[in-house]
């Protein structure tokens, strides 16, 4: 029998099977029931709760941070039993996380204003991607997963204790890079799995993005009665390189923006032409008045005087004396 020990977990291989359980649970006769068995010939049998999986993946993520550096993403390694599952760890200072956030942590965008409770000096954000294990650990009757379940959990970097985090200013965004497409008539939904076992739904933003203010596990689902399309290429590990085409929403959105842009453009052109036409009319009227004034001033011998806003001819104060036509008239 081969044994492998990591932290409080011990793995034993006997007769072609791997058994994993907590050493403390072994001492209590597997009271917690934390057992994962993967047989070489039989199908997979899961007796491992989702919360116990969180702690196991936490240990593998922390193991990758041998010489931690702040702001560096460390990818962890999981045993072959969890084929496809991916974990990572990101170590941040509490104050820096609150003031600056973190622009791209795998599929997660950490906004400014993220605070933890209770306060610690350094925080480690552990990332989960459960891939094809999503529906096994987070079953959702009546719904089908369009994307893998992604997790974001916060821990104290020193004591490894679990923390609560809350986005106080802007929400945390999760941009799924690999999303299956559904039918047009039924929109997909974001699903949230809380650490207390609660489940919540919300609308999908920008076709493949979900928003949250708390930690937990997240995915995109659709009702099981909806026919599904093919899965786009991509391994689901990283940013939003491939956008999902859910129900042709992208085409409708593009057409709507084209109509709005055309209407705004026509309105701006009309306003601009009206302003130009008004300027031309005022200039022509001003030139016409100036021309009339010049002609009037050149053809009138009488002196001109300004009266209010206009110019008018003014006669002199004394009139010319009359002369007799016939000098012989006495």
3-state secondary structure the chain: CEEEEECCEEEEEECCEEEEEEHHHHHCCCCCCCEEEEECCCCCEEECCHHHHHHHHHHHHHHHCCCCCCCCEEEECCCHHHCCCEEEEEEEEHHHHHHHCEEEECCEEECCCEEEECCCCEEEEEEEECHHHHHHHCCCCCEEECCCCEEEEEEECCCCCEEEEEECCCCEEEECCCCCCCCCCCCCEEEEECCCCCEEEEECECCCEEEECECEEEEEEEECCCCCCCCCCCCCCCCCCCCCCCCCHHHHHHHHHHHHHHHHHHHHHHHHHHHHHHHHHHHHHHHHHHHHHHHHHHHCCCCEEEECCEEEECCCCCCCCCCCCCCCCC
Render pLDDT for 236-289 as a digit per residue (tens, 0 to 9).
Answer: 444 333 333 334 445 567 778 888 889 999 999 999 999 999 999 999 988 888
Least confident of 5-19, 42-56, 69-83, 213-227: 5-19
For the chain, what is the mean pLDDT? 75
For the chain, how many residues are written? 330
Banded model confidence at residue 135, pLDDT cuts 50, 70, 90: confident
Least confident of 136-150, 285-299, 305-319: 305-319
Residue 291 has pLDDT above 80, yes or no: yes
- CA–CA separation, 8 vs 242, rounded Å? 39
Q: What is the pLDDT of residue 238?
A: 40
Q: For the whole model, what pTM was predicted? A: 0.56
Question: Does pLDDT of 163 surpass 60?
Answer: yes
The residue ranking higher by pLDDT, 254 or 131, is 131
| pLDDT tens-place string over residues 73-126 | 999 888 888 888 999 999 999 988 898 888 889 999 999 999 998 999 999 999
Q: Nearest Cα to 162, choosing from 61, 48, 15?
A: 61
∠ at Cα 44 (43, 50), nearest 5°? 160
């Amino acid at each position: 029998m081969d044994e492998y020990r990591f932290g409080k977990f011990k793995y034993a291989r006997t007769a072609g099977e791997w058994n994993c359980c907590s050493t403390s649970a072994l001492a209590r006769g597997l009271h917690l029931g934390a057992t994962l068995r993967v047989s070489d010939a039989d199908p997979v049998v899961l007796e491992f709760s989702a919360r116990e999986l969180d702690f196991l993946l936490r240990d593998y993520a922390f193991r990758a941070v041998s010489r931690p550096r702040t702001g560096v993403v460390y990818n962890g390694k999981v045993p072959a039993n969890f084929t496809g599952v991916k974990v990572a760890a990101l170590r941040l200072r509490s104050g820096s996380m609150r003031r600056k956030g973190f622009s791209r942590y795998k599929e997660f965008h950490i906004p400014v204003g993220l605070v933890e409770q209770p306060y610690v000096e350094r925080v480690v954000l552990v990332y989960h991607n459960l891939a094809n294990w999503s529906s096994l650990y987070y079953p959702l009757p009546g719904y089908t997963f369009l994307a893998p379940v992604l997790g974001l959990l916060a821990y104290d970097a020193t004591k490894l204790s679990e923390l609560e985090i809350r986005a106080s200013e802007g929400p945390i965004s999760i941009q799924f890079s690999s999303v299956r497409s559904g039918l047009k008539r039924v929109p997909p939904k974001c699903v949230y799995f809380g650490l207390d076992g609660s489940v919540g739904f919300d609308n999908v933003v920008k076709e493949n993005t979900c928003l949250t203010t708390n930690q937990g596990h997240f995915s995109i689902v659709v009702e099981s009665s909806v026919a599904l399309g093919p899965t786009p290429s991509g391994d689901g590990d990283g940013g939003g390189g491939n956008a999902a085409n859910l129900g042709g929403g992208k085409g409708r959105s593009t057409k709507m923006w084209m109509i709005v842009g055309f209407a705004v453009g026509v309105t701006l052109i009309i306003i601009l032409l009206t302003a130009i036409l008004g300027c031309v009319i005022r200039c022509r009227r001003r030139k016409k008045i100036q021309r009339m004034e010049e002609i009037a001033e050149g053809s009138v011998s009488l002196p001109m005087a300004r009266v209010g806003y206009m110019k008018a001819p003014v006669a002199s104060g004394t009139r010319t004396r009359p002369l007799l036509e016939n000098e012989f008239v006495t």
